Amino acid sequence: MAKSIMHSKDDRTCYLCMLLRDDYSARVDLQEHHAMPGTANRRLSEHYGLKVYLCVEHHLVGPEAVHNNKRLLRLLQANAQIAFERRYSHEKWMEVFGRNFI
């Protein structure tokens, strides 16, 4: 299991709580979310560390849950691309994922 290049699990924060609400409080209900959906892309997300940790509200339940909110899903995908390209390159991103989210 690769370590995330987007967000540290160690601080127990929800990635979207921090991003959307400036809330850096520790959470007990964190769930791992792979930034790139789909079976093949999930494996690639795991391999490259393109994952974040989300509270249940931002992961599965409610209007701001990435599984219910396309705008927030796209935001995570764009942030994943930025993190990936910092480490590798835009060309490598396009080779691996084949779609530009920025």
Give the pair of three-digit tokens for residue 14: 């929800």
Does residue 55 form part of some domain? yes
Number of domains in the chain: 1
Task: For the chain, 102 residues long, give each residue's pLDDT as a single digit of tens.
Answer: 689 999 988 889 999 999 999 999 999 989 999 999 888 899 999 999 999 999 999 999 989 999 999 999 999 999 999 999 999 999 999 999 999 999
Does residue 10 form part of some domain? no
Beta-carbon count within 10 A of 9 CB: 13
For residue 2, what pLDDT is reported? 80
Does residue 6 form part of some domain? no
Are 54 and 16 within 8 A, CB to CB? Answer: yes
Does residue 1 form part of some domain? no
Report pTM.
0.92
For residue 38, what pLDDT is reported? 86
Domain that holds residue 78: 15-96
